[in-house]
Structure formats: C-alpha cells, structure tokens
Amino acid sequence: MNAELRVVAIADADSFVKWSAALLDAVPGISRHMLLVRTPLTVSREQEHMALAGTVFGTDSVTRLGFDELTGWLNGHLPDVVVLAGRGPFVRLVARVIDRLRRRPVVVSGLPGMSIPALRGALEYRRESDLLVLHSHREIRAFEVLADRLGLVVPMALATLPYARPASARGARGRASRGRAEGSDAVGTPRSHSGGVLVAERERRGTDLVFAAQALVPAQRHEREELACILRRAAEARPNRRVVVKLRSRPGEAETHLERDAYAELLANRPANLVLSYEPMALALARAEGLVTVSSTAAVEAIARGVPVIALDTFGVEKRLLNTVFTGSGLLAGADDVVARRFRHPDPAWMQDNYFHAPEQSEWWMRVEELVMLRRGGALPAKTVPTGRGGALRAAWHRKSVLGSEDRSLAGAVALGVGAPLVDGILGMRRARGRAGEDTWSDATTDYTLEPRPQRDPVRR
C-alpha cells in the first residue's frame, strides 16, 4: 500500500491495553493511536504506563474519552483499521458504534493471551469482526471447530503473541526514544533460531522466583490459601533469595477479571523475602531465576526470554484451571518442585504448536491489508451487529452493564434492574445443564467449550 494506514486500538482493561499496544508496535509503517474508553475496567494512569512500557505509544498517541465521544472522534479521524481490544461485551458495544460511522474501517479483534480452551462467548461477541486474531496453530484449530459447532463464519488469522517475541524484537522503536526498559540489552539474553522456533540462550540467570498471580484461577479460597502456603514454603526454604508475587493491580485499581481472595490479603503475614510487586512483568523476569504460574500468559513471556517455568499442577490439569494448554509442554510440576526451584524449559514440539511458530507464519497483518483494499473497493460487506431479541431494552441493559456509572441514562438503570436477574438465571440454567458431557468444561477431549464460564466474572464491579 502506498499511503500510511491509520490504525486505532480501542481498549479499556489492562491486559487488553498491553496486548493491543504490543500487537501494533510490531507493525511497521503505520500511524497508531490508542483510545481508552471510560468503563469500570479502564486502566489507571499507572497501569497505562506499565502496559505501554517498551512500545512506541506515548502520551501523544493515547486519548482517554467517554463512550459518547467515541463516534465523533472516529468520524473526525477516519481510521482505516480499528482493533477492538476489550472483553466481549465491550467489543460488541463498540461494534455498534462502528456500524453508525460515515466511513467504515476494517474491524479486527482478538484475545490478550493464551486462549485454550476456546470459549463460546469469546467467539460470539466477536462474530461481527472482519478478522479475529489468534496466536497459535492450536488456537486456530480450536476456534475453527468452535465456530463450526456454533454455525458461525468468523475469519481468523495467526499472529505471534506479542509476549512470545524475543525481547530484542519488542519495542525497538519505543526503546530508541525511551531507553532500554524492556529490551534484550536490559535483560542480557542473546537470541537465536532453531528449526523455525524461537529459542533463547540459557546463560543468563537471575535469583528471584516470580509467581504470576491470576484473578480467575485457582478460583476457590482454599486453593488460593494453599498456593499462598506454597509460596511461603519456597521463601522459607531459600531465605537469601526472593519470592516475588507479581500482581496486576494495586488496591483501588481495576483489572480485566474480578479477583476474589487477593494474594495481598492472603500473604499479609509473610517472610521478609516474600514480596509483592506491581512492576511490569518484563522487569520482574529480568531478575528471575524462574517463573511459577497456574496458567498465566506470563509463562509465554518467560519462555521467550529464556526463563524456565513451572506450570503448577497441584490443583489438577483441567479446563476450569485454564492450564490444559500446558499438556505435553514438559512444564507441569507440583508444589515440591516450586519449593525446590526445579524449573523447566519447554518441549520444542509443543512450542511449535503453542505460540512459538516461525515468524513468517504470522499472517494477520497481511490479511488486514487485503481487507483494507477490499473495503476501499466496496468488495467487503459490513458485518453489522443485529438488533437481537429484547430490542431497545436489551440494548440499554448491554450499554449499562459495560459502562457502569459512566452510563447515566434512566433506560440503562431500568434495564439493568430488569435484566441482571434474568441474565443470571439464564446463565445458571446453562451451567446446570452443562456440568458433564461433550463440549463442556469437564470434557477433557476438546480444546473448546460451549458452556459458560464456571466462575462468575461480571463486567460490572
């Protein structure tokens, strides 16, 4: 293409801001901007700074605005491409705005981390996208099967998960203007390629055991208490080395998923070498001997930097824990391995199918450019959001449930009062019907599920 494409990411929650910024940071020759829409999940200024660290996004390329300002901004700037970066209901709400624009951009959406199992809601809320970006061959297969089961046609394309790129390839333009906050020089890890798979040299080694905390898993309080106990044991076993609990949000800040039984509470009384950290994951990994997680995408970031990993299997390996993706990786291990710091490096065959495919196999931006040409030529029909059952009342409930206090309409308040119990009832019935059997969370034979999440994870907080 001759002209520089104008690309805008529209986001709110922390993980989606980090993902969309890193995704677009890797695309050369485009004009980038980030719109942060005010919702209950919108990143704080500090979270924004951490999410954008190491990318070309600076204060002049980020705009905070209310939802009602979105149409005017987009009509005034006429982007060629928008990347919808938020949870499903947010994506659907913004897609309705795009339906009303005077010039329709190409609509791209995606998920901010490892997405096995493929979830029904993740696909259905993004069904109006012109392209769904996924990050591994395994994810592509899972979402294609899921789409077939649901009777949906959603174009998909493969991208390299931003955190799976070597540190030397991330944020090169950003580091030129911001210093070396996140690059390979800061981490000190040279890189090479072997058989098309990214492999990190394993000479550099830090001393911290870094635990990547997650809001959703494990879900039960007794499980989180047991995990806190494992971390205490690890700290007490090596009092001269730190155990770093890497948290996503400070008290009062929101994050993508609602956290219950926070580690800051569970670890209120802890050894001096067991510390809580809110720094960017890249900085934590720069000092890491190894990473421990149940199922965080931080494992991929660690592997890319040559940091060994333990994917904790103390609570099992099953879809509800979001850790079936590690089956066959060689990374699964238990509590005693964490305490003894017996970290692992992944199996190369697993890497090729899971996030570490050869760079030339990432096709998403080429597909985007093709779609832009088709839209400019009038050959790409708009995929508009249908009105659906419930009409205006449902639309008002959807808007209120996403925007929370930012929506001050009477219709939203009324719709929320009527709709919230109804939705809870519908989801409860679906969960009750799907506790066992094919295509559910308990079905270990598939990489997808048609059943709602077992955890209640409201957008409203």
Same domain, 130 and 194: no
Of the listed ranges 25-29, 107-111, 420-424, the one predicted with least confidence:
420-424
Same domain, 24 and 166: yes
Same domain, 155 and 249: no
Tens of pLDDT, residues 233-281 = 999 999 999 999 999 766 666 566 566 778 999 999 899 999 999 998 9
Same domain, 396 and 412: yes
pLDDT at 187 over 60: no
Instruction: With cut-offs at 50, 70 and 90, classify the pLDDT of residue 342.
Output: very high
Phi, psi of 109 (to 5 degrees): -135, 170
User: Considering its fold, how many domains does the chain have in total?
Assistant: 3
DSSP output for 28-61: -SEEEEEEEE-STTPPPHHHHHHHHTTSS--GGG
pLDDT at 429 over 70: no
Model pLDDT, residue 2 = 56
Average pLDDT over residues 282-298: 96
In a domain, 458, yes or no: no
Return d(Cα 249, Cα 259) in angstroms, integer: 10
Same domain, 204 and 272: yes
Instruction: With cut-offs at 50, 70 and 90, classify the pLDDT of residue 176.
Output: very low
Q: If we measure between CA atoms, which residue out of 200, 132, 210 comes closest to residue 356?
A: 200
Same domain, 369 and 315: no
Same domain, 64 and 127: yes
Same domain, 171 and 49: yes
Tens of pLDDT, residues 389-401 = 767 777 888 899 8
Model pLDDT, residue 409 = 84
Tens of pLDDT, residues 356-387 = 999 999 999 999 999 999 999 999 999 999 98
In a domain, 383, yes or no: no
Return d(Cα 309, Cα 313) in angstroms, integer: 12
Q: If you average pLDDT over every residue of the chain, what do you get? A: 87
In a domain, 455, yes or no: no
pLDDT at 167 over 70: no
Residue 461: other Cβ atoms inside 10 A: 10
| SS3 state at 13 | coil
Cα dist. 43→36, 38, 86, 266, 279 in Å? 8, 9, 12, 24, 15
Is beta strand 156-158 parallel, antiparallel or unpaired with respect to 131-134? parallel
Phi, psi of 105 (to 5 degrees): -80, 170
In a domain, 126, yes or no: yes
CATH of the domain at 158: 3.40.50.2000
Same domain, 90 and 220: no
CATH of the domain at 279: 3.40.50
Same domain, 236 and 367: no
In a domain, 461, yes or no: no
Same domain, 229 and 255: yes
State which residues form the domain around 349. Answer: 185-353
Tens of pLDDT, residues 101-133 = 999 999 999 999 999 999 999 999 999 999 999
Same domain, 190 and 147: no
Return d(Cα 51, Cα 244) in angstroms, integer: 19
In a domain, 324, yes or no: yes
In a domain, 114, yes or no: yes
**Percent of the chain scoring above 70 in pLDDT:** 81
Query: Which residue(s) pair with 37 in the sheet?
Result: 65
In a domain, 454, yes or no: no
Which H helix or E strand runs over 140? helix 137-150
Of the listed ranges 28-42, 199-213, 344-358, the one predicted with least confidence:
199-213
Query: Which residue(s) pair with 133 in the sheet?
Result: 110, 157
Instruction: With cut-offs at 50, 70 and 90, classify the pLDDT of residue 219.
Output: confident
Predicted TM-score (pTM) of the model is 0.87
